[in-house]
Chain A
Amino acid sequence: MTPHEARERVTTIPVGRRLFLGLVGLGALGVAFGGAVQRRLGDALGSGLGGLLPGGDRFRIYSINGDFPVIAPSAYRLHVSGLVDRPTTFTLDDLEAMPATTMVKAFQCVTGWRVPNVEWRGVRLSHLLDQVGARPDAVAVSFESYDGADTESLTIDQARLPDVIVAYRMLNAPITVEHGGPVRLYVAPMYGYKSLKWLSAIRVVDAVEPGYWEMNGYPVNGWLDGTTGPTNPDPSLT
């Protein structure tokens, strides 16, 4: 009999250890299967109800420098320049007058959180590039944000994918300021950080310029299936 057992004449049960291991085990199970459970719940409930679950389907709002640049829709301008025949500045009305594309897709962050059934509406980036006459020797497209900090880039082929849009509606409403409104990029086949918020300028350039998050360690090509090559062979992503 160890001194530990001799402490009490009363028989004791190691409830503390069992409870501890049980909770840690629950945590491990949650890591392995919580995503799938939450995904099913979220798909069933939609992002409204699912957003009430702890850790559920809710956007985590990231801002690099702490404030959201507030831009009135009437004051919004998108400058497109670089290797183009006709550098142009677009207003929100200009963008809304162009052929619109609508998509309903899950928004997936590279760190794991995911919001299902998000509706997006905007104009295809390829359409904008055609409008300004992107030159054939263009290699990449760089994006700048009104926050003055975030930058992004895509190869010209990625930029021309049909589900890469300059979005002005999200969640069935004009894009709110915390979601990057009035106009943001939405790169559907890639992780959320590629979908730059508060889009201010598009430059057509001759080389890929890694953006803010890529300089902070994220892959330049953030395909949703985890591959990091410039092109992605998985047609289901697009």
Chain B
Amino acid sequence: MTADSDVAASERPRDLVRFDAVERATHWISAALFIVLIVTAIPLYFGSLFGVTLPRVDVEQVHLWTGLALPVPFVVAVFAPWGRRLRRDIRRVNDWTHEEITWLRSWGRFEIDADKFNPGQKLNAVVVAASSIVLFATGVVLKWFDLVPVSWRSGATFVHDTFAWLLVLFIVGHVVMALTHPAALMSMVRGRVSEVWASRHAPRWFAEREGKVSPERD
């Protein structure tokens, strides 16, 4: 790995932009919506187990409208001119090297020439995106249930609950990783990481930016 010598060779440490304002706003608005969805899901899902008694109709309405709002910030960001950086990051999340696949299969047991996002972060992004779409679609089926046969409604209930569990699992993991990696968390708050951080945690991205791999694109 040549990243360390690159840092040593540079005149003085600079900060790199990891997430621009559009990406950060999209992340935090979506995060707030996810929190509302999870909090309102608890009495809806566990009501029967623990006898949680809240005005179900009101909780349901909050859950419904928050769910319908969930895709809005992402759609506004990704399809607009200001979403260039977000679109590039989505392409990064899509592209995996053989090494990255092996790394994830080994549960991260070896040192990797990590991209801007490591395979775990890529996996998280994909699962959160796919689960969100599935939850949105099945939520629509559960709300406007008379559009589909009753067997589909049963299936939609099953899928909505299963993917909700999957998503919560990944969100918990995501939050734990963020809290134990403050520099990464701060890059989603202020947008920047140090060169030292980039060379250590995202060497391939760092090298790319420094023109060592391919022209700077990010």
Contact A35 B152 (CB under 8 A): yes
Which residues of B have CB within 8 Å of A35? 150-155, 157-158
Contact call A19/B130, Cβ cutoff below 8 A? yes
Q: Interface 1/0s, chain A 44-79, versus B by CB < 8 A?
A: 000000000011101111111111100000000000
- CB within 8 A of A113: which of B123, B137, B157, B204? B157
Given the interface pairs A30-B162, A55-B162, A111-B153, the reply to whether A61 lies near B48 with Cβ below 8 Å is: yes
| Residue A91 at the chain B interface, CB threshold 8 Å | no
Interface window among B64-72, B89-97, B177-185, B192-200: B89-97
Rounded to whole Å, the gap between the CB of B86 and the closest CB of chain A is: 14
Complex partner residue of B159 from A11, A34, A62, A63, CB under 8 angstroms: A34
Nearest-neighbour CB distance to chain B for A121, whole angstroms, equals 21
* B95 closest partner in A (C-beta): A12
In contact, B156 and A112 (Cβ under 8 angstroms): yes
Stretch at the interface among B2-10, B24-32, B50-58, B74-82: B50-58
Residues of A within 8 A of B154 (CB): 34-35, 38-39, 112-114
Count contacts on B: residues with CB < 8 A to the other chain. 60
Which of B55, B98, B100, B131 is close to A23, meaning CB atoms less than 8 Å apart?
B131
Of residues 114 to 171 in A, which have CB atoms within 8 Å of B's CB atoms? 114
Q: 1/0 per residue B133-153: CB within 8 Å of A?
A: 110011001100100011111
- Residue from A13, A31, A66, A108 within 8 A of B98 (CB atoms): A13
Interface residue? B1 (CB, 8 A): no
Q: Is the CB of B91 within 8 A of A31?
A: no
The smallest C-beta distance from B173 to any residue of chain A, in angstroms, reads 16
In addition to A23-B130, A23-B131, 17 A-B residue pairs with Cβ atoms within 8 Å of each other are A7-B217, A13-B96, A15-B101, A15-B126, A20-B130, A30-B159, A31-B156, A34-B158, A35-B152, A36-B151, A38-B158, A54-B158, A60-B45, A60-B48, A112-B155, A113-B157, A178-B51
**B interface, CB within 8 angstroms of A:** 44-45, 47-49, 51, 53-58, 90-91, 93-101, 122-123, 125-127, 129-131, 133-134, 137-138, 141-142, 145, 149-165, 204, 208, 213-214, 217
22 contacts between A and B (CB under 8 A): A7-B95, A7-B208, A8-B97, A8-B204, A8-B213, A11-B98, A16-B93, A16-B94, A16-B96, A16-B125, A19-B130, A24-B130, A27-B130, A27-B159, A31-B141, A36-B155, A54-B164, A63-B55, A68-B51, A113-B154, A178-B47, A224-B150
